[in-house]
Amino acid sequence: MIATRSAIFDEALEIAGRRFKSRLIVGTGKYRSYEEMKAAHAASGAEIVTVAVRRVPLDRRVESFLDHLDPKLMILPNTAGCYTVEEAVRTARLAREALGTNWIKLEVIGDQTTLFPDNEQTIEAARILVKEDFVVLPYVTDDLIVAKKLLDVGCAAVMPLAAPIGSGLGVQNPTNLRILREQLPDAILIVDAGVGTASDAAIAMELGADAVLMNTAIAEAQHPEQMARAMRLAVEAGRLAYLAGRMPKRLYASASSPLAGVIR
């Protein structure tokens, strides 16, 4: 059978009615310079970048960080650093007012050592924000029940972690990601946090993630621009491998050359 064009070239990623060619979403933190960040963003092919909301320092003049981003990029504000429903909701509202976007990457952190999400408060914040017409993309543990609850309250996607934020450990629980994919076939799953290198991103995509979000893996690489390109290729490779459907794993060898006609 001849493979169809769509199978080889993949479809666009669609979130809340917007279509994206890239399945890689990148952060904007931890870069050594703006130049390095810009080069990495370009090499990643990402169309969405996330930014954090913070108090303006009043004791010194600051330039606008957003001026250092390629204007073609979609800016996805996040609620990073929020530990309560109230902080997260207020942060989302402020971000919407400042940027004119109703998209929000929702994070309600539960613990400083692991930066694991507080799932209970995340669901509550999501409920409030969806009612206020936000497109909510919540960071969450790789838990099917919590993911279902977030989708039930109207989140546009769920973003399960691969490993703790900034740990670079890669996918620690592939089983849970597989279960999420199988049980939520129509949901947008974005693996968020914990990717360390290209193979980690590929594994996340092979498990059926619709996209991967990362920051530290690129920003803290020795050469961020190079790593950004590696991630771009890994996400594409992993996606195509998922669509292609991998061969079954076998315990024993299975010859790929015909046995007939072997010289004796």
- What phi, psi does 80 have (nearest 5°)? -55, 140
Stretch that binds other proteins, among 5-13, 20-28, 150-158, 177-185 (CB under 8 A): 20-28
Instruction: Specify the stretch interacting with other proteins by CB under 8 A; choose among 63-71, 123-131, 170-178, 223-231.
Output: 63-71
Closer by beta carbon to other proteins, 176 or else 215: 215
Which residue of 4, 112, 256, 257 would you call a contact of other proteins, by CB under 8 A?
Answer: 112
Question: Which tokens go with 212?
Answer: 């991967």
| φ, ψ (nearest 5 deg) of residue 203 | -60, -45
8 A C-beta contact, residue 10 and residue 28: no
Q: Is 250 left (phi over 0), alpha (psi -120 to 50) or beta?
A: beta
- Tokens at 169, concatenated: 């450990």
Q: To which residue do tokens 């594409």 refer?
A: 236
Cβ neighbours of residue 135 closer than 8 Å, sequence gap 6 or more:
15, 16, 102, 103, 104, 156
The torsion angles phi and psi of 45, rounded to 5 degrees, stand at 70, 5
User: 193 among the known binding-site residues?
Assistant: yes
Look up residue 63 and give its DSSP letter: -
Residues 167-206 contacting other proteins, CB under 8 A: 192-193
From residue 216 to residue 255, what is the string marking binding to other proteins with x (rule CB under 8 A)? x--x------------------------------------
Q: Binding of other proteins at residue 102 (CB under 8 A)?
A: no
Tell me how many residues contact other proteins (CB under 8 A): 53
- Whole-number Cα distances in Å, 23 to 31, 60, 178, 211, 216: 21, 38, 18, 4, 17
203 CB neighbour count, 10 Å cutoff: 21
Which residue type does 31 have? Y
Pick the catalytic residue: 21, 30, 105, 249? 105
The minimum distance between CB 30 and other proteins, in angstroms, equals: 7
Exactly one of 213, 227, 228, 235 binds other proteins (CB under 8 A); that residue is: 213
Q: Which residue's structure tokens are 């408060």? A: 121
- Interstrand relation of 18-20 and 24-26 (parallel, antiparallel or unpaired): unpaired
Task: Answer yes or no whether residue 148 interacts with other proteins by CB under 8 A.
Answer: no
Residue 74 CB, nearest distance to other proteins (Å)?
Answer: 14
Q: Is 107 a binder of other proteins (CB under 8 A)?
A: yes
Cβ atoms 160, 140 nearer than 8 A: yes
Smallest gap from residue 166 Cβ to other proteins (A):
6
Nearer to other proteins, 19 or 65 (CB): 65
Catalytic residue check, 105: yes
Q: What is the set of active-site residues?
A: 105
List of residues contacting other proteins (CB under 8 A): 26-31, 37, 50-56, 58, 61-62, 64-66, 75, 77-78, 80-84, 86-87, 90-91, 93-95, 97-99, 105, 107, 109, 112, 115, 139, 165-166, 192-193, 213-216, 219
Q: Which residues does the annotation place in the binding site for 1-deoxy-D-xylulose 5-phosphate? A: 166, 193-194, 215-216
Q: Which residues does the annotation place in the binding site? A: 166, 193-194, 215-216
